Amino acid sequence: MNTDSTFKYNTLFGPVPSRRLGISLGVDLVPHKTCSLDCVYCECGATTHLTLKRKEYVAVDRVKNELVTYLSRDEKIDYITFSGSGEPTLNEGIGDVIHFLKSDYPQYKVALLTNSTLFDQPEVRRQIKDVDVIMASLDAATEPQFMQVNRPHPELDLSSIIDGITLFRKMFSGRLLMEYFLVNGCNDSIQELAKLKKILRRIDADGVLLNTLDRPGTEAWVQPTGPKRLKDISDFLEGAEIVKYTSAPPETAVRGEDLMARLVSTVRRRPYTAQDVSRIIGLDVESVQPVLDQLVASNQLALKQMDRGCFYMASQARRPC
Ligand code: SF4
């Protein structure tokens, strides 16, 4: 198998299976780690471009061309999802891409994973209001925890972000899910969670998701929250859903050169174990492991030993975009 493949898609990755979104094709609208936050738990590594500047980081025409090519294959996809290794709403062309998908590909639903920091901008709210599902992060109820967990751009303040989310909720007819990422000893005190509960009531989203570390975070001191504590916090937050990862159905399994391209485009954006990759790709570990090892040998991926196993991730030389 040729491991020095030139990848047809630079802005698309996956598709990956998701409990809420089914089979989801990822669209990455910004270069690696271009973000308004530098979260301690980020699975994509430290933010290298901390910014609030909106611009066409990745050309809209390029994204549209890749989508046209990919979607001509007529594969089973349930959602096209703006996500990746930075903040998608920083691309000022996001509204244009959403409009293109809604008018030319109405058969696919569109989702957005966002850190919520630009919701206070009316233009951002207007551009994203037509997507079907938004999973929006909010990891703190108070400014000190916001600084500690999210290490924001200096011009951001938490109360404006919460006001922005609340305003957006009122104009958004799609499904809004708020996600809270628990960082042990930082944003999980009873005082913080009580304040969060009030904020979540005010936002009035369609659901709340509770997440914790599953892959290597940016800071080594960030540890996952145990299942018992997760359950207690879920109950305290009136039944917040604990995030679980799911497997690809057998019909979406990919082989040959497609497997190579899909592995690299997906793993370059966030770290996975061989077992994770097997689950995502829909092939057994014995088929996936040698391909991953070849990609490490050819310096297209790197390997890191963690408590939960060996994680494959982007090598410095092969960051996307
Ligand atoms: S977790 Fe998301 S919002 Fe936080 S630094 Fe990483 S990409 Fe940015």
Per-residue confidence in pLDDT tens, the chain, 321 aa? 433 344 577 899 888 888 788 889 999 999 989 999 999 999 888 999 999 999 999 999 999 999 999 999 878 899 999 998 899 999 999 999 999 999 999 999 999 999 999 999 999 999 999 999 999 999 999 999 999 999 999 999 999 999 999 999 999 999 999 999 999 999 999 999 999 999 999 999 999 999 998 887 889 899 889 999 999 999 999 999 999 866 555 555 554 456 667 777 777 777 888 888 887 777 788 888 888 888 888 888 888 877 667 888 877 644 443
Task: List the chain domain ranges.
Answer: 20-244
> Residue 279 has which token pair?
């689950």
Q: Name the CATH superfamily, with its identifier, for domain 20-244.
A: Aldolase class I (3.20.20.70)
Rounded to an integer, what distance in angstroms lies between the CA atom of residue 187 and that of residue 190?
Answer: 9
Burial 261-295 (b: 16+ CB within 10 A, else e): bbbbbbbbbbbbbbebbbbbbbbeeeebeebbebb
Ligand 1 centre distance from Cα of residue 29 (Å): 14
> How many Å lie between the centroid of ligand 1 and the Cα of residue 221?
17
Q: Is 115 in the pocket of ligand 1 (CB under 6 A)?
A: yes
The reply to whether ligand 1 has any atom less than 6 angstroms from the CB of 138 is no
The number of angstroms, rounded, from the C-alpha of 231 to the middle of its chain's C-alpha atoms is: 23
Atom nearest to 117 CA in ligand 1: 3
Helix axes 94-104, 60-71, angle to 10 degrees: 30
Q: Are the C-beta atoms of 58 and 11 separated by less than 8 Å?
A: yes
Rounded to the nearest angstrom, the distance between the alpha carbon of 42 and the centre of ligand 1 is 5
CA of 113 to the centre of ligand 1 (A): 10
Q: Give the DSSP letter of residue 14.
A: E
Cβ atoms of 181 and 211 closer than 8 Å: yes
DSSP state for residue 250 in the 8-state scheme = G
Specify the pLDDT at position 251: 53
pLDDT at 254: 54
Query: What is the rounded CA–CA span in Å between residue 121 and residue 236?
Result: 32
| Listed residue (123, 201, 117) closest to 157, CA to CA | 117
Q: Which atom of ligand 1 is closest in space to residue 44's alpha carbon?
A: 6
Reported in sequence order, the residue ranges of the chain that DSSP labels E, i.e. its strands, are: 12-18, 22-27, 34-35, 49-50, 79-82, 109-114, 133-137, 175-181, 207-211, 241-242, 301-306, 309-314
> Does residue 6 sit in helix, strand or coil?
coil
pLDDT of residue 319: 47
What is the reported pLDDT for 312? 85
pLDDT at position 3, please?
Answer: 39
Q: What is the pLDDT of residue 134?
A: 98
Rounded Cα–Cα distance for residues 219 and 40 (Å): 5
Put the strands of the sheet holding 175-181 in their side by side order: 12-18, 22-27, 79-82, 109-114, 133-137, 175-181, 207-211, 241-242
| Pocket residue to mutate for ligand 1, from 30, 32, 34, 35, most atoms within 8 A of Cβ | 35
How many angstroms is it from 241 CA to the middle of ligand 1?
20
Contact 139 CB / ligand 1 (< 6 Å): no
SS3 breakdown of the chain: % helix, strand, coil, rounded to 5?
Answer: 35, 20, 45
Q: Does any ligand 1 atom lie closer than 6 A to the CB of residue 274?
A: no
User: Which of ligand 1's atoms lies nearest the C-alpha of 33?
Assistant: 7
35 CB under 6 A from ligand 1?
A: yes
pLDDT value, residue 275: 83
Protein residue with least CA distance to atom 7, ligand 1: 86
Q: What is the pTM of this model?
A: 0.87
315 CB-contact burial (10 Å; exposed 0-12 / middle 13-18 / buried 19+): middle
Strands (E), 119-259: 133-137, 175-181, 207-211, 241-242
Distance (angstroms) between ligand 1 centre and the Cα of 47 equals 8
Q: Is the CB–ligand 1 distance for residue 86 below 6 Å?
A: yes
Contact 113, 81 (CB under 8 A): yes
Would the CB of 42 count as within 6 Å of ligand 1?
yes
Atom of ligand 1 minimally distant from the CA of 47:
5
Which of 29, 83, 87, 119 is the pocket-test mutation for ligand 1 (most atoms within 8 Å of CB)? 87
The pLDDT, as a whole number, for residue 60 is: 98
CA of 206 to the centre of ligand 1 (A): 22
- Is ligand 1 within 6 A of the CB of residue 84? no
